[in-house]
Structure 1
């Protein structure tokens, strides 16, 4: 296998467990395998546990300053957003609660959405040129449901989603061992190992392609030009 050059790439792993540090996070345990693979291949990795930060609800970039009719007194999101935007790769990790992603994951995605109207230096949406994936843990079925939800949300914001961009592990139905618990079998599960490995490599490949090509191709996707009247060949209803 020819080794691609991933040096210089940056990834941010955003763990949306409900548990603040230093509590054991099974989601982090699975994410750590992907992190180790990225670091082994020269990717600079930043790890954020969202529950350690004061992330206020809302869909504005800064809930202290941007909220009409009542600013909030604290919000860690602007500093976290800088770290996320500095990365070529975003991997969002979440446990499953009540069959869905965590409430913390929902809040993070809402805050990402608050930046989605901003533009990059090509006039495209801000997340163009970046790639994303998702890692899910739980002990009941729902990995594909959560991945479908999260990956749709991230591509809607502008992230490029590569093939097989999700990985997860589930224990037995009902109360039982979680991923890192002794005897769970989680770390030894080949299916999870394979999906996690493919996801990680595909994220690195996609990020490298985007970097080496100067970002997501420009053409027919500039919000700035659209707002200035350019229609990129869209049929004119007046001439139908």
Structure 2
């Protein structure tokens, strides 16, 4: 089984990523469960703004999309800025829009039988709002949303330290993230055994 984790921090490598640090805790659990994980920092690639799957020369999204489509699990990890997801995370969702017309060999959307999870960090609140936004978008394009498939961390009300600087309730975020990994794998296994069939619309 394969998972792809897209770290949507605004900071390219080698700058430290708070979101990446929490994502790595989830990855530890995925790997313990036997999942092969591809961890990609989106800011390190040229993802052209748009809503199609391939925008031509210089666009790095098609290569990432190929890895995504070969994985059973997608996890989007994003910081919160001004109470919402990062611009990198929004760009990923916009590019996933290009998958709407794409079908597999049975006529289903190519994202059917793939499971999505979420990781959110930020010095201030907004994590649950971000999870809701991303989950709704991915469900709309065909992903399955597992129960309790997210974790988040914030420093409480108002500005404060970031994830790497603070020990505030990180144990909860790590424990919840590992539980989310277990749930994602369980649902992915279930979908392998009993995949979602083509529906009447797909057969037309």
**TM-score, scaled relative to structure 2:** 0.95
The answer for the alignment partner of 2:150 in structure 1 is: 166
Q: In 2 relative to 1, CA 119–37 (structure 1 residues): closer, same or farther, beyond 3 Å?
A: same
Could you say if the C-alpha distance between residues 52 and 219 of structure 1 is closer, same or farther in structure 2, counting changes exceeding 3 Å?
closer
Displacement of 1:222 after TM fit? 4.7
User: Residue 12 of structure 1 contacts residue 91 of structure 1 at CA under 8 Å; is this kept in 2?
Assistant: yes
Q: Kindly name which structure, 1 or 2, has the bigger radius of gyration based on alpha carbons.
A: 1
After TM superposition, the structure 1 stretch with the greater mean CA deviation from structure 2, 111-120 or 146-155, is: 111-120
Structure 2 alignment gaps of length 5 or more = none
Would the aligned equivalents of 1:60 and 1:111 in 2 still touch at CA under 8 Å?
Answer: yes
Query: Greater share of strand residues, 1 or 2?
Result: 2
Q: Does 1:61 align with 2:53?
A: yes
Instruction: Give the 3-state SS of the residue equivalent to 1:78 in structure 2.
Output: helix
- Secondary structure class of the residue paired with 1:165: strand
Q: What CA distance in whole angstroms lies between the structure 2 residues aligned with 1:91 and 1:141?
A: 20
Q: CA deviation at 1:221?
A: 4.8
Match of 1:198 among 179, 186, 197: 179
Counterpart in the other structure of 2:32? 40
Question: How many corresponding residue pairs?
Answer: 204
Asked if structure 1 preserves the Cα contact closer than 8 Å seen for 2:107 and 2:198, the reply is no
Partner of 1:185: 167
Cα distance change on mapping 1:113 and 1:221 into 2, 3 Å: farther
Asked whether the equivalents of residues 116 and 127 of structure 1 are also in contact (C-alpha less than 8 Å), the reply is no
Any conservation in 2 of the 1:122–1:222 contact (CA below 8 Å)? no
Structure 2 partner of 1:96: 80
Please give the alpha-carbon distance, in whole angstroms, between the structure 1 residues aligned to 2:178 and 2:76. 16
Structure-to-structure mapping, 1:15-34, within 5 angstroms = 15-34=7-26
In 2, the alpha carbon distance for the partners of 1:189 and 1:99 equals 20
Distance in 2 between residues matched to 1:201 and 1:221, nearest whole Å: 32
Question: Within 1, Cα distance between the matches of 2:171 and 2:54?
Answer: 42
How many Å separate the matches in 2 of 1:24 and 1:172? 21
Using a 3 Å threshold, how does the CA distance of structure 1 residues 107 and 177 change in structure 2: closer, same or farther?
A: same
Counterpart of 2:100 in structure 1 is 116
Kept after mapping to 2: 8 A contact 1:124/1:221: no
Asked if residue 52 in structure 1 is aligned to residue 44 in structure 2, the reply is yes
CA shift for structure 1 position 172: 3.5
Q: Which structure dedicates a bigger proportion of its chain to helix?
A: 2
Quote the residue 1:211 is aligned against: 192
Structure 1 gaps of 5+ residues are 1-8, 65-72, 227-240
TM normalised by structure 1 equals 0.81
The counterpart of 2:199, out of the listed 177, 195, 220, is 220
- Per the alignment, residue 233 of structure 1 pairs with none
